[in-house]
Amino acid sequence: MQTVTFPELDRLPEGKTAAIIGGGPAGLIAAEVLARAGVAVTVYDQMPSLGRKFMMAGRGGLNLTHSEELSLFLARYGDIDPLLRKAIEAFPPAALRAWADSMGAATFVGSSGRVFPETLKTSPLLRTWLLRLGNLGVKTKLRHRWDGFDADGNLRFAADGKEVSVAPDVVVLALGGASWAKLGSDGKWADILAAQKIAISPLQPTNCGFTAAWSDVLLGFEGTPLKRISLTFGERSVRGEAMITRDGLEGGAVYALSSPIRDAILKHGETTVTIDLLPDVALAKLGERLSAARGKQSLSNFLRKATHLSPAALSLVREGALIKGLTLAALNGKDIAALIKSVPVKLTGVQPIATAISTAGGIRFSELDEGFMLKRYPGIFAAGEMLDWEAPTGGYLLQATFATGVAAARGAIEFLRYSVPDVRKG
Ligand SMILES: Cc1cc2nc3c(=O)[nH]c(=O)nc-3n(C[C@H](O)[C@H](O)[C@H](O)COP(=O)(O)OP(=O)(O)OC[C@H]3O[C@@H](n4cnc5c(N)ncnc54)[C@H](O)[C@@H]3O)c2cc1C
């Protein structure tokens, strides 16, 4: 097995200590980098095991990163902060793939350009990683909930009903976002840090589903996917899949546009997306098909045979007509074709953060120096999803998580090398 050594790191003198709070991928990669530099690292987590959300990410196939060209890759983070850009450039997708390879988790590029470990799963990779960290001397303290700082400015944990105080030389905060709180990242750190005057952008769901006021007919299609669609919101269209849920709509195409859809709903209370149910069929051709004489066939049979759309998709078309105050029977073939190519769906709410894939908002980058250290609190660094960035699914979440974890650890190493260590706050 090949070993990634982060070769540019010189070892520090013995005796330096680091506390990593949060044992997700950001915290664990920070632990690895620091341990490789000779730092005595302890990872604290409030859960009974590490990497629970990372494990969950592997359920449907662990999408580690993406193979597209780096400039395109970086564009997925929207108006990317220069600090995040630098972190990803310093630890790009190729580095993450090499690291996974070193863990015995060789990766492959899927047809969409997404990168997965060959096993598709997190568990073998995480198992090997935890063994590696143990061999590097990294200690773990599970069921340790970070509550903030004590009167002396030391880290304060609640563990087994007792209060534990720790004063390491450096700290890396890697507490994650606020989605899927049951996996450990509950976002409660935001109040702790806000009380320390750290600017936090509100934590909001992203890569999330939305509510729609479905009719009883559409409710009957709960759990049915709408495959090979193109979803449009504003100027942006995304090809993919959406899923009809009890409350509304979710799935890859919805997640990809979730950030602007969320913002529009928060501003206006509701918004409308459009779905092209047959993006590979030209409007004129579909119009021709639907203008043919239907003879004695019912409209439903005729549409089903002429479009090959699923019953769920055709019900959505019917509902789309109703939104426009029309019925399909009143439309000619060309108009029905136009509707199929642009079905309006009114979205009335954002699904709760508990069910979102990821979290937007977090510690503002303006709070961090070049080494991902909190400017107000020398010796305390931050990484991962708790920082204020957002990106669609496709491997961008884990890539930014790993890259910022590496950047924070490198920042901490430089701090330990050149500064008098003192993380206490007065
Ligand atoms: C269903 C699902 C599927 C996903 N699939 C993918 C995917 O395929 N590809 C991708 O790129 N991303 C995916 N993600 C997102 C990815 O898992 C996260 O972006 C990533 O785990 C963030 O890593 P992190 O280390 O920043 O935070 P987390 O993984 O959330 O880890 C934070 C850790 O901090 C601990 N913690 C929090 N508060 C405290 C406290 N007060 N005291 C002590 N410990 C605390 C938590 O217990 C947790 O272990 C998925 C997410 C979900 C929910």
- Asked which of 318, 350, 382 is the last residue of a domain, the reply is 350
Beta-ladder partners of 20: 43, 172
Which range has the worst mean pLDDT, 1-15, 26-40, 382-396?
A: 1-15
What pLDDT does residue 294 have? Answer: 87
**Residue 116's CATH number:** 3.50.50.60
Check whether residue 184 and residue 310 sit in a common domain: no
What pLDDT does residue 418 have? Answer: 86
> Backbone phi, then psi, for 364, in 5-degree steps?
-70, 145
pTM, to two decimals: 0.92
Check whether residue 267 and residue 373 sit in a common domain: no
39-97 tens-digit pLDDT? 999 999 999 999 999 999 999 899 999 999 999 999 999 999 999 999 999 999 999 99
CA distance 66 to 109: 8
Q: Which residue's C-alpha comes closest to atom 14 of ligand 1?
A: 57
Average pLDDT over every residue of 226-232: 97
Check whether residue 169 and residue 241 sit in a common domain: no
Indicate whether 138 belongs to any domain.
yes
Which amino acid, residue 381? F
Q: Which residue's C-alpha comes closest to atom 52 of ligand 1?
A: 357
Check whether residue 280 and residue 369 sit in a common domain: no
Check whether residue 179 and residue 251 sit in a common domain: no
What pLDDT does residue 1 have? Answer: 42
Indicate whether 355 belongs to any domain.
no
Mean pLDDT of the chain: 94
* Residue 421 near residue 170, CB atoms below 8 Å: yes
Q: Which residue's C-alpha comes closest to atom 22 of ligand 1?
A: 385
Check whether residue 133 and residue 105 sit in a common domain: yes
Which atom of ligand 1 is found nearest the CA of 179?
Answer: 53
Query: Beta 114-117 vs 107-109: how paired, if at all?
Result: antiparallel
Check whether residue 343 and residue 369 sit in a common domain: no
Check whether residue 107 and residue 62 sit in a common domain: yes
Q: Is residue 278's pLDDT more than 70?
A: yes
CA distance 42 to 164: 14
Average pLDDT over every residue of 214-218: 92
What pLDDT does residue 324 have? Answer: 83
Check whether residue 169 and residue 312 sit in a common domain: no
- Asked which of 319, 350, 381 is the last residue of a domain, the reply is 350
Indicate whether 57 belongs to any domain.
yes
The HSE-up count of residue 406 (CA atoms within 13 Å, CB side) is 23
38 Cα–ligand 1 center, Å: 26
Indicate whether 179 belongs to any domain.
yes
pLDDT band of 7, cuts 50, 70, 90: low
Place of tokens 């899949």: 241
Mutate to test the pocket of ligand 1, among 42, 44, 45, 53 (most ligand atoms within 8 A of CB): 53
53 Cα–ligand 1 center, Å: 4
Indicate whether 12 belongs to any domain.
no
Average pLDDT over every residue of 314-328: 91
62 Cα–ligand 1 center, Å: 13
Indicate whether 423 belongs to any domain.
no
What pLDDT does residue 338 have? Answer: 96
Check whether residue 173 and residue 261 sit in a common domain: no
Which amino acid, residue 244? I
CA distance 123 to 295: 58
Spell out which residues line ligand 1, taking CB within 6 angstroms.
21-27, 44-47, 52-54, 56-57, 62-63, 145-146, 174-176, 179-180, 184-186, 188-189, 357-358, 384-385, 395, 397-398, 401
Domain of residue 57, residue span: 17-205+360-418
What pLDDT does residue 59 have? Answer: 92
What pLDDT does residue 231 have? Answer: 98
161 Cα–ligand 1 center, Å: 25
Indicate whether 76 belongs to any domain.
yes
Which range has the worst mean pLDDT, 37-46, 327-336, 417-426?
A: 417-426
Q: Is residue 297's pLDDT more than 70?
A: yes
CA distance 56 to 122: 8
122 Cα–ligand 1 center, Å: 13
Average pLDDT over every residue of 223-252: 95
Which atom of ligand 1 is found nearest the CA of 177?
Answer: 30
Distance of CA 68 to the CA centre of its chain: 18
Check whether residue 163 and residue 62 sit in a common domain: yes
CA distance 26 to 386: 10
Q: Is residue 426's pLDDT more than 60?
A: no
Count of domains for the chain = 2
Check whether residue 75 and residue 214 sit in a common domain: no
Q: Is residue 424's pLDDT more than 80?
A: no
